A and B are shown apart, each in its own frame.
Chain A
Amino acid sequence: MSARRRVLAATVALLATAALATGCRGGDSGTAQEGKEGVKTDVGVTNEACPQAIDKAKGCIYLGTISDLTEGPFKALAVPITDAQKAFWKRVNEAGGIGGYEIDVTTYVKDNKYNPQVHNQVYQEIKPKVLALAQTLGSPTTAAILPDLKSGSVVSIPASWTSLWAFEDVVVESGANYCMESMNAVDYAVEEFKPKSVMAVHFAGDYGDDAAAGAKIAAEKNGLTFTDVKTAAGQDNQAGAIDAIVSGKPDLVILTTGPTEAAVVVGQAAARGFTGKFIGTAPTWNPGLLKSPAAPALKALYLQSGPWETFSADTPGHKAMRDALGTLPQANDGYTSGWIWSYPLKAALTKAVENKDLTRAGLLNAVKSLDTVDYEGMLPSSAGKYNGEPNETAFRQSVIGKPDESSVTGIMTIEKLFTGPTAKDFSFTKACYL
């Protein structure tokens, strides 16, 4: 009897707590609100000013950043990318923001350690608080959140160039993908050194596989023999790749790794008597390599392909970037990339505000309607076409550079934006590596 009364009392107490607490949930995604100047908004856009607002009367658009900031293989690039993007959006804010809003890219910055699982975890943390992602670094990492990006219409700026992005509306890429970049690299080498054999040494997953696929297509087109060697991240894991290079003696190696791995592979292959050429894709370089023990080997054997000209190039956009960043302890093309990648998002946000629809769906529609993007000369504005078939919209030009201490990033461009014959004729109907 007393037991029954206690049960009753407990239940009543519980229901009372429940009734009190029910108000807590809510404010989730999905409910459209009226924002500044009649713009429709939902997630990640507030009428209150940003924490570091320049004009306190403006609202705030929150953008998330997921990057490799502490211990992953690309931290030497990722930190500059993130800093450049902070500078880019600060410049946008100083120029009056976008419509009635300023942009915040500093509140939700997360570290992915270049691990897809961590990437997904931190993405889930910031997803309810941001409109879009100003940066999601890495191909396999971004692939981990891709289904969620698509189902939630979360527009995101990749810090990677895999060819898959051309087929995903939510991922707004800039520049030639690894696949095209490697095709151009092989075509360039065919022109310059007349190689007979090509070897792709690459990380597994969407980054390395994509470049290797491009190299393979170009090798077949040029009638060269092709071999494919996978290697894992980490200085100590390169022995297999080095053996393969030294014993296979290819005339050309297309390298798609991180900077540390590149230095080990090139340095040790050269030490063991390898004399063929290396061409590394953009994320393979970091200016620190010229101070490493591998520097002489790199200068002798290594060339660098890239989707755009390096930090010190002479265009209005490059100049604006250098001004915004001020004096840097070490210039790095991470800055250039972070800056360039941000232009299409700026264009999309501007368009969404013009359309009075700054919801996630509205931003995605704005992206899909972009015909050109003003890259301030860093890329042709036709590179920012997102409203058509990938085969016609994909940007196929890339550059080639070589290590040179006189350049601030250690890379001097020797061949400006060009399209090789392979990339030009390539029918781009699905991601290269699939």
Chain B
Amino acid sequence: MRGRPELYTSYRQELSLLNTVPKRVWVGAILAMALLLPFMLQDDVLTLLATGFAASIGAIGLNIVTGYAGQVSLGHAFFLGLGAYTAAAVSGDEDARVIGFGITELPVWLLAAGLVAALAGAIVAPLAVRLRGLYLAIVTLGLVFIGEFVFKEWSELTGGQGVGRQAAVPTLFGQRLDTDGEMFTEIQKLYLLMLVLLVIFAVLARNFVRSRSGRALAAVRDRDIAAAVIGVNLTRYKMIAFAASSFYAGVAGALVYLISGYIEPTSFNLLLSVQYIAMILIGGVATISGSIMGAMFVTLLPRITDELQGVVPLLGTDATDLAQVRAILYGLLIIGFLIFEPRGLYGIWIRIRNYWKSWPFSY
């Protein structure tokens, strides 16, 4: 459409993944930038970014069940843990003190991590059919505590509390991804791996939520009774939401701990769940790009406070002080976003976008 590029002439066009020209340009530019970063940034920043990418996959997962399907889940930490341990066990050393099967090929253990978590999600889902809102939140909260206990006690798998085990070992077509190679260093490889996986999982999720199933989830969220009346099978779609979300969580758990390299069973606690809730609240509920922004923001926050410390001397120099500053900042940000911008970072972006869209006649 010469001269009127943004005019939609079909539903297909409007519902396409990248439905406007600026979107195409921006996504392309951001991707190109992300691909260039590993050759420009220092290792510590790359590690953080890679962790952020992996966490983004988990945040997308939580957004599917909580944002799109409206089922509040505090149990995300449990599914992250399941994924992390499945991956570690499948790829782990057979002769180590903890369970290991020695299958280090990445696609195998990544799929296994996702599937085991998805299975657990599907088992939990029937509860979600009977409960909603606060009650569902409490039940999923219970899941975190059960999971934490099992992880602590099952020392053949997890190494036990205070001991832990090595995380998954990644090889792709026989090549180790966690050692320095001739062309790329360890962290460059991991960064690129996480980037590629994030793109794959983000596109899959984006595709999923605009499909028939995705629209069904939104209907369940907006009014479950109305959805049931018009023929949406609640049991089926809540099951799908939980399974898909848990699959993402499992994959994210495997990947996040792949970067950090070591898993201690007490890390899968309520705090981790809350962190993921914070990611989607800060990023933007029921958006894929918001999940990514939120996850990146929350992952980079400790580093930002560390850097701020140099600028704002009041923050103190002690490691404990810093941790407290971080915790306070966390709380303030969640409250601030809920009050001032419930749509999260995504909402802020929409406002900026709309301002410039009609510039210079924006008001």
> A residues near B, CB below 8 A?
1-3, 6-7, 10-11, 14, 18, 21-22, 24-25, 28, 69-70, 110-111, 114-121, 124-125, 128, 140, 144-145, 147-148, 151, 203-206, 232-233, 434
Contacts known (A204-B155, A204-B162, A205-B163); A22 close to B25, Cβ less than 8 A: no
Name the residue among B25, B160, B263, B264 with the largest chain A CB count within 10 angstroms: B264
B341-360 to A contact mask, C-beta < 8 Å, 1/0: 00000000000000000000
Within 8 A of A (CB), among B141-163: 152, 155, 159-163
Say yes or no for B319: interface residue by CB 8 A criterion: yes
B102 within 8 A of A: no
B262 within 8 A of A: yes
Instruction: Give the shortest distance, in Å, between B104 (CB) and chain A (any CB).
Output: 14
Neighbouring B residues of A28 by C-beta, 8 Å: 43, 185
Known: A1-B2, A10-B28, A115-B266. 20 other contacts (CB 8 A): A2-B5, A14-B29, A14-B32, A14-B33, A22-B39, A25-B39, A25-B40, A110-B319, A114-B162, A115-B264, A116-B164, A117-B264, A117-B267, A124-B260, A128-B43, A140-B163, A144-B261, A204-B155, A205-B163, A434-B97
Alpha-carbon gap, A205 to B163, bound state (A): 6
Answer yes or no: B36 CB below 8 A from chain A CBs: yes
Q: In the complex, A21→B2 CA distance in Å?
A: 38
Query: Nearest Cβ distance between residue B307 and chain A, in whole angstroms?
Result: 14
Cβ of A34 to closest chain B Cβ, rounded Å: 24
Give the distance in Å from the alpha carbon of A14 to the alpha carbon of B27 in the complex.
13
| A27 and chain B: residue at smallest CB distance | B42
Q: Are A69 and B262 neighbours in the complex by a CB distance under 8 Å? A: no
Closest residue of chain A to B5 (Cβ to Cβ) is A3
Contacts of B43 in A (CB 8 A): 28, 128
Report whether B25 and A21 are in contact in the complex, using a CB–CB cutoff of 8 Å: no
A425 to chain B, nearest CB (A): 27
Please indicate the chain A residues that have their CB under 8 angstroms from the CB of B160 in the complex.
Answer: 204-205
Looking at the assembled complex, report how far the CB atom of B231 sits from the nearest CB atom of chain A, in whole angstroms.
41
Range class of the B interface residue count: 35 or more
A364 to B205, CA, bound (A): 49
> Are B163 and A204 in touch, CB under 8 angstroms?
yes
Which residues of B lie under 8 Å from residue A114 when comparing CB positions? Answer: 162
B42 lies within 8 A of A6 (CB): no
CA of A14 to CA of B5, assembled, Å = 24
A10: min CB distance to chain B, Å: 5
- A203-B162 CB under 8 A given contacts A120-B261, A125-B44: yes
Once bound together, how far apart are the Cα atoms of A323 and B266, in whole Å? 42
Residues of A within 8 A of B66 (CB): none
B233 lies within 8 A of chain A by Cβ: no
Residues in B with CB closer than 8 Å to A434 are: 97
Structural contact, A121 and B42, CB atoms closer than 8 A: no
Output the least CB separation between A176 and chain B (Å).
23
Q: How far is the CA of A147 from the CA of B93 in the complex (A)?
A: 13
Interface contact A140-B319, CB-CB below 8 Å = no
Q: Return B1 CB to nearest CB of chain A, in Å.
A: 11
Least CB distance, B234 to chain A, in whole angstroms = 39
Q: Is the CB of A144 within 8 A of B162?
A: no
Min Cβ gap A326→B in Å is 23
Residue of A nearest to B20 (CB): A3
For A115, list chain B residues within 8 Å (CB): 162, 264, 266-267
Q: In the complex, what residues of A have CB within 8 A of residue B207's CB?
A: none
B166 at the interface (CB under 8 A from A): yes
A69: chain B residues at CB < 8 Å are 319
Q: Which of A110, A117, A203 has the most CB of B within 10 A?
A: A117
SS class, residues of chain A in contact with chain B: helix
- Tell me the number of A-to-B contacts counted with CB atoms below 8 Å: 97
Instruction: Assess whether A3 is in contact with B25, with CB atoms less than 8 Å apart.
Output: yes
Binding site for A on B (CB under 8 A): 2, 5, 21, 24-25, 28-29, 32-33, 36, 39-44, 47, 97, 152, 155, 159-164, 166, 179, 185, 260-264, 266-267, 319-320
User: Closest chain B residue to A2 by CB distance?
Assistant: B5
Kindly list the 7 A-B residue pairs having the minimum CB-CB distance in the complex, ordered from nearest: A205-B163, A117-B264, A120-B262, A116-B164, A144-B262, A21-B40, A140-B163
- Which A residues are CB-close (under 8 A) to B24? 3
**Which residues in A have their C-beta under 8 angstroms from that of B32?**
11, 14
Q: Which residues of B contact A24 (CB under 8 A)?
A: 40-42
| Chain A residues, Cβ within 8 Å of B21 | 3, 6
Task: Write the nearest CB–CB distance from B182 to chain A, whole angstroms.
Answer: 13
Give every chain B residue within 8 A of A145 (Cβ-Cβ): 262
A144 and chain B: residue at smallest CB distance: B262
Min distance, Cβ A62 to any Cβ of chain B, angstroms = 16
Is there an interface contact between B163 and A116, defined as CB atoms closer than 8 Å?
yes
A125 CA to B320 CA in the complex, in Å? 17
A111 to B161, CA, bound (A): 18
Given contacts A18-B40, A205-B163, A232-B161, contact A70 B262 (CB under 8 A): no
Residues of A within 8 A of B36 (CB): 14, 18
B43, B163, B185, B266 — which one has the most chain A CB atoms within 10 A of its CB?
A: B163
A10 to B25, Cβ gap below 8 A?
Answer: yes
Residue among A1, A116, A119 having the largest count of chain B Cβ atoms under 10 Å: A116
CB-nearest residue of chain B to A26: B42
Smallest CB separation, A205 vs chain B (Å):
4
* CA A383 to CA B252, docked complex, whole Å: 47
CA distance A116 to B166 in the complex (A): 10
How far apart sit A11 and B47, CA to CA, in the bound complex (Å)? Answer: 26
CA distance A118 to B264 in the complex (A): 9
How far apart are B327's CB and chain A's nearest CB, in angstroms? 14
Closest to A129 in B: B44
Q: Using Cβ atoms and an 8 Å threshold, which residues of chain B touch A6?
A: 21, 25
Q: Determine the distance from Cα of A220 to Cα of B185 in the docked complex, in whole angstroms.
A: 50
Shortest Cβ distance from residue B84 to the other chain A in the assembled complex, whole angstroms: 11
Chain A residues in 8 Å Cβ range of B33: 14
- Chain B nearest CB: distance from A256 CB in Å? 13
Q: Which of B47, B164, B261 contacts A148 (CB 8 A)?
A: B261
Contacts of A203 in B (CB 8 A): 162
Q: Nearest Cβ distance between residue A143 and chain B, in whole angstroms?
A: 8
**Which chain A residues lie closer than 8 Å to B44 at the CB level?**
124-125, 128
Q: Are the C-beta atoms of B40 and A70 separated by less than 8 Å? A: no
Q: Is the CB of B162 within 8 A of A111?
A: no
A20 and B29 CA atoms in complex are apart in Å by 17
* CB-defined A-B contacts under 8 Å, sample of 7: A3-B25, A7-B25, A70-B320, A111-B320, A204-B155, A204-B163, A232-B152
Taking a contact as CB atoms under 8 Å apart, the answer to whether A140 and B41 are in contact is no
Please, which residue of chain A has its CB at the minimum distance from the CB of B36?
Answer: A18
CA distance in complex: A114, B18 (Å):
48
Output the least CB separation between A90 and chain B (Å).
20
Q: Give A6 to B25 CA distance when docked, in angstroms.
A: 8
Contacts of A121 in B (CB 8 A): 260
B263 touches A117 (CB 8 A): yes
CB distance from A198 to the nearest CB of B (A): 23
Q: How far does the alpha carbon of A233 sit from the alpha carbon of B160 in the complex, in Å?
A: 11
Nearest to B97 among chain A residues (CB) is A434
Complex alpha-carbon distance, A37 and B70, angstroms: 68
